[in-house]
A and B are shown apart, each in its own frame.
Chain A
Amino acid sequence: MTAAARLTALQLRRLARRRWPWVALAAGAGVIALAVALALGESGGDRLEELRQGATTLLLLGGLAVALGLGAGSLNVDSDTGHFGMLVGAGAGRGSLVASALLARLVGLAVVLALWGATLQGGALVIGAGLDGELAVHTAVVATGLALTLAAAAAASSVVGRAAAIVFGAAVYLTAQALMNLKAAVDRDFIGTGDEAINAVHAIGPRIPTSPMLADLQERGAAGPAIPRVDINGNEVALPASGWPTIAWTLVWVVALGLVAYAGMRRRPLA
């Protein structure tokens, strides 16, 4: 096992022993139970729609909370408490520390989303809709946007405290989502001025991918209160489903933010 793999396993073990991720996991399960109960109150196709609305809300808001919570404390806390100092003093490289901290938290986020996703599939079975493939795809697509948010908060955590890192991570998410909304508006000729600038910024900026299921819900105005259609110049903009290039670009940004985190940690004093 390489030093980086050992450090990642160590970070995962420490993460699994913290209480709040388990509380978040349980709270998410509670929300899903509520969504299932509400869905059971509906009939026919409305049942699945109700469950999907609950799922999109949970995966967005709950996922953001978990991603920001994981990312914002990934480098600053261990730098200040002496944990990274202990490891660097023993011979660990700072690059390995950053990679292991980020990777462990991405795995933690993936585990939380996978368990929520599995619970949602159980909910779909309970309401009699069978396994919901579109919802599973949506969960995976949301995970990429949340990974971007986590990486942004982690990059900030290399130089600032937890609260500021949460603000930065949330700002990156909102900016990326706004870019997606503006790009969708440009593609439908809803803006007219500054289209080239929006296209250029969209081409290089971070993106939040949209799943086919969410695109369908938005198109019908049924995506739930957490993901409403955006009004631009008096036109309601529904996001189109993202393709593989957008998913790949989002993951490129995750790696880039990991490099930013390393740059921040390279000369950071460690306790």
Chain B
Amino acid sequence: MGIFSEIFTFGLIASTISLCSPLVICSLGGLISDKSGIPNIALEGIMSAGAFCAVVFYIPFESPWLATIIAGLIGGLIAFILSLICIKGRGDAIISGFAVNFICWGILPVISMQLFNAGMTPRVKGFSTGIIQFIKNIPFLGDIFQRNTILTYLGLIVLPLLISILMYRTRFGKHITATGLDPFSADTKGINVFRVRYIALILSGILAAIAGADLSLGIVSRWTSEVVAGRGFMAIAAYMAGRRKPLPTLGICFAFAFLQALSTRLQLLNLIRSEVIQILPYIITIIILGIIGKGEFTSFAKPYYRE
């Protein structure tokens, strides 16, 4: 039992919570754009770009919030370029998403090399942790919540609520769903399909980049080319397994984040070779997708155009 008490500590719960928020933010962004009929495969690349830009803009301004906002805007810009290719250009959403991924994967190490003369950024302080001072003294809660930042709470509590309200309680949310289900009918009904898809895709880009900023400024404190490590694709898997509903997606993200935290924890213990443990989140993600099943993209990324 000694090993179990070493693995399952309050630190594990704490890091699950902090690792969960970038996944949730990214996953909910992907959910919006998938609902509108254009799955955003470029989440991975945009997340990496957001993480990078957040660190780059944090260094001169010393303000994590400003850096996060700038990163979000850059993510929106990248998603706008993607939407030009796959909405205006009528390209296949999957292929154009991968093109944007390739562009991000390729250009970020080059810029990093120019700015910092290395393949990674220097360490930064980022978001301050332990924002609620009085909670530190409470025995268990103190251990769990001391490492989290405000962005963690925004991502885990406020954002799922906002997205739920947007998707189920507003006109625009219903337009998104209608556009994704059948663009032709939606267009006949008077919904501007193109505008809805542009907005949904750009929103997903902004959220993915903020997720990246959360990852680099809130958790890892630096950017390397491996910092995102498939979280963008895991976010897609999460909303697929969550049946494209915000709250089940939140639950699935918690499961994935727990696996990531567990894998980090097991690596620290040095029981077996770290490579065996590092593959754990990916393998279990695939297994969860297999158990829940029906992980397909809506309307399979067919470009819409008027006759």
- State yes or no: do A and B come from one complex: no
